[in-house]
Amino acid sequence: MATEGYDLRTFRRRRRRRAGLRRGTAWCPEQSYRRIRAMDAMEVPPPVNPFSPAAVARVSEVDSRPTTVVTSAIRDTLAHLDNYLHSGVGGTVAVVGDYGTGKTHLAAELLAHARQLTGVADQAVYLDAPADTFLSLSRRFLGRLSRDAVRALLDEYRADPPGDLADRLRAELAEVTTDPSLGQVLAMLTDPATEALAWDWLMGYPPGPALVAAGVTARQDVESGAVEVMGALALLHGHRHERFVLILDELDKILSAAGRPAEETMARFSRMIGVFASAGAFLVIAGLPDMLHLLSPQVRQRIGPIVRMSALTAADVRDFIRQSQLRAFGQARLTPFTVETTEYLTNLTDGVPRRLIRLCYHLYQRAVQAGTPVTHLMVREAVRIQFDLANRQDVAADVRRVLTQDGWSYQRDHLIGSLRDLPVDFWVPLDELGAGCCVLLSESVLKSEEVDELNRRVVTIRAAMPDSEVILVVVGHLPAEFAADLTETFSVEPIVYDPQTFAEDLSGSVKASMRRLEQAFGADALTSVRQRVERIQRQQTNTQRSIERLSYQLDEIRGDLRHDHRATREVEPARRRPAVGAEVAPLPGRVARVFGEAIAALDQLTGFERHLREAFAPPGPDAVGAAPLRSGLRSRDVQRALGTSLVLRRLIEAFRDAVAQWYDSHRRTPHPADRERLDRLCETYDGIAEYLPLFQLDVLGDLAVPGHDDAVEPPDRSRSWSEARSVFDGLSGRVRQLVLVDG
């Protein structure tokens, strides 16, 4: 659409102005030339916003490369990739950076670059690691490759010189695995009669009857087997197409899924690095900086170059703005931004790409609406609106909770000395010594004048109360440059409010500050012990109040359950009478038994149902009561684990009902479309169960301990947990096989 002659803010035709000076206007060369230059710089931008409002990178399978500013991190990683594509020597490159620094964007650039040079899409694969196990990662890997693509790859091997395909595959895969079953199963994947069963085995499910007849056994370590499957397919792709690239994003989610990674996790990850190196593949792992600290020294030694994401400079930001507008409008320009505002914007955001792109979007909107260039005031207002997500009242409530839980006595809006017009938000006194710790709350600090004001306030507080420590909590955004200036004055680094870490950060800062004051005053040992005892007493009092509130809530739940029980008894007879024509055929015996064993295994893992029954059981000499349940529910980990177990139970029950409905409609000679429907049901179960943190169930060990009559020694109990979890791990694969066999 032609836009010449239109006002792009109102979409109305502009009146033509006659050339020359207006009547009564004097010619001023210097002022007029300055106005002309300003008009050239402020050409009215189009109304379409060329920037992303979310600023979250997404890796797409279609060939669409995002706007990219070539930073040192991108340049170095592309150089490592080009070296691999040229030499064929495999290895592992680690890319680390904080949130929003461009790791996923870099992964998308690597993926597009590798596919452009190799010309084959399957030679470069991107995976977003799940917060689960290596088995889940392997299933995503297989899903990204697809069964058809893997079968086509194996068909190429089958077309090679004559010979048994299974034997040739076993010989070729000897570099990455010693399991002869893997080559056998891959060969069976080329046979339509066994293709589905072979794919299920590769996905980690137990072998079906046809595979067992061919000598394939169940794997002892499914996790290690999943790593070998990934390495085997990488090896086959590499041998057939000479190169294979796997980009594994957010790997830290797997390593930290159960807290500190166990030795088994480290061993499997080390095995994965070794397998991909043996396969001659190029592995890129990306994650947060803590990812490297989670790795053992032996694993870190097996990783090659480490690329750290760097901040954008003001020149990078201007380049990005020009590229974005060139891509959207066909013209590379900086308008409505200026050199000065891009410098200011870069300083306030510390050059973090995600923050910059989000602000560019909002600033562009503001500038188009106002019809002016972006100003410093616009930048500050946008930063406050976008980054001040919390408010002072909510943060003050969090401060109160932290101080209360740690047992500190405190005063709110305390007036220090003669500072009647300048109270501190929180004052934590140190006994009767006249010393203490101040906690100040501040909104975003975006100007040097605001830094100076905070520094003056600290100096004034210390002049009125020399024996004091001051902790600054910023509710919003604090650029790194200003944080360094404030640290020198406050003697402790300011805390930028983050809901995930604030309680831990504030608790540690207050304890450290009070400890320094105690040492400065040289308090005797008896005084220190008395102060700590008083703190412990306050903590116990607060804990007792929390327990009483929880007990009151449990009493309310008990009353609701009794009411529901009476209502259930009234409607149960009517519910048991089946509706006419609505009967559903029961599942085959073995299928129903699998579902029953899964639910029983879950009850064995948690012990929740038994404890709940005991809590409401009539009083008696052997009655346990609600004490074990109350004790367990004090832990947040137990609460989260119970929530996971309840979701898993509902998921198994919903899966059972869906399979029963399918069986009732399709149990007689199901057609291929009916089998696909059953496959989708199984895939739905797997897709949901994959995101459940089942590792949390291990914390329910104490809650799941049987009563006195069923006492079990710890070794036997741990073995029963392993057996119980194996029942619903791979549930969909067993159900599918049994339904098709028994149906």
494 phi and psi, to 5 degrees? -60, 150
With tokens 């980990």, the residue in question is: 637
Which of the pair, 667 or 101, is modelled with greater confidence? 101
Instruction: Tell me how far apart the alpha carbons of residues 303 and 248 are, in angstroms, rounded to a whole number.
Output: 14
pLDDT bin (cut points 50, 70, 90) of residue 52 is confident
Q: What is the mean pLDDT of residues 629-634?
A: 63
Q: What is the DSSP letter of 467?
A: S
Examine the pLDDT at 66 and tell me if it is beyond 90.
Answer: no
Instruction: Tell me how far apart the alpha carbons of residues 79 and 390 are, in angstroms, rounded to a whole number.
Output: 42
Q: What is the mean pLDDT of residues 480-503?
A: 88
Question: Residue 10's pLDDT is what?
Answer: 41
Examine the pLDDT at 519 and tell me if it is beyond 60.
Answer: yes
* Domain regions of the chain by residue span: 6-41+312-387, 78-308, 392-523, 588-742
**Residues present in the chain in total:** 743
In this structure, CATH architecture of domain 392-523: 3-Layer(aba) Sandwich (3.40)
Question: Residue 623's pLDDT is what?
Answer: 56
Question: Residue 157's pLDDT is what?
Answer: 81
pLDDT bin (cut points 50, 70, 90) of residue 710 is very low
Lowest mean pLDDT among 39-43, 330-334, 625-629: 39-43
Examine the pLDDT at 471 and tell me if it is beyond 90.
Answer: yes
Question: Residue 199's pLDDT is what?
Answer: 93
Instruction: Tell me how far apart the alpha carbons of residues 509 and 344 are, in angstroms, rounded to a whole number.
Output: 31
Instruction: Tell me how far apart the alpha carbons of residues 154 and 152 are, in angstroms, rounded to a whole number.
Output: 5
pLDDT digits (tens, 9 = 90+) for 404-433: 888 888 888 888 766 566 788 998 888 666
pLDDT bin (cut points 50, 70, 90) of residue 240 is confident
Question: Residue 594's pLDDT is what?
Answer: 85
With tokens 């739905």, the residue in question is: 684
Which of the pair, 186 or 292, is modelled with greater confidence? 186
**Under a CB-based contact definition with an 8 Å cutoff, are residues 185 and 201 in contact?**
yes
Examine the pLDDT at 42 and tell me if it is beyond 90.
Answer: no
Partners of residue 470 on adjacent β-strands: 438
Which of the pair, 722 or 443, is modelled with greater confidence? 443
Examine the pLDDT at 89 and tell me if it is beyond 70.
Answer: yes
The candidate with the shortest Cα–Cα distance to 236, out of 145, 303, 164, 140, is 145
Question: Residue 366's pLDDT is what?
Answer: 92
Q: What is the mean pLDDT of residues 487-505?
A: 87
Proportion of the chain above pLDDT 70, given as a percent: 71
Superfamily of 78-308 according to CATH: P-loop containing nucleotide triphosphate hydrolases (3.40.50.300)
Q: What is the DSSP letter of 586?
A: P
Question: Residue 146's pLDDT is what?
Answer: 87
Strand 424-430 relative to strand 435-443, pairing: antiparallel
Question: Residue 309's pLDDT is what?
Answer: 92
Question: Residue 472's pLDDT is what?
Answer: 94
Q: What is the mean pLDDT of residues 576-583?
A: 43
**Under a CB-based contact definition with an 8 Å cutoff, are residues 337 and 54 in contact?**
no
Examine the pLDDT at 177 and tell me if it is beyond 80.
Answer: yes
pTM of the model: 0.61
Q: What is the DSSP letter of 100?
A: T
**Under a CB-based contact definition with an 8 Å cutoff, are residues 125 and 245 in contact?**
yes
Q: What is the mean pLDDT of the chain?
A: 77
> Quick one: CA torsion of 540, 541, 545, 546, rounded to 10 degrees?
-30
Q: Both tokens of residue 188?
A: 């069976």
Examine the pLDDT at 326 and tell me if it is beyond 60.
Answer: yes
Instruction: Tell me how far apart the alpha carbons of residues 552 and 49 are, in angstroms, rounded to a whole number.
Output: 54
**Under a CB-based contact definition with an 8 Å cutoff, are residues 470 and 435 in contact?**
no
Q: What is the mean pLDDT of residues 219-233?
A: 88
pLDDT digits (tens, 9 = 90+) for 113-127: 988 887 776 788 999
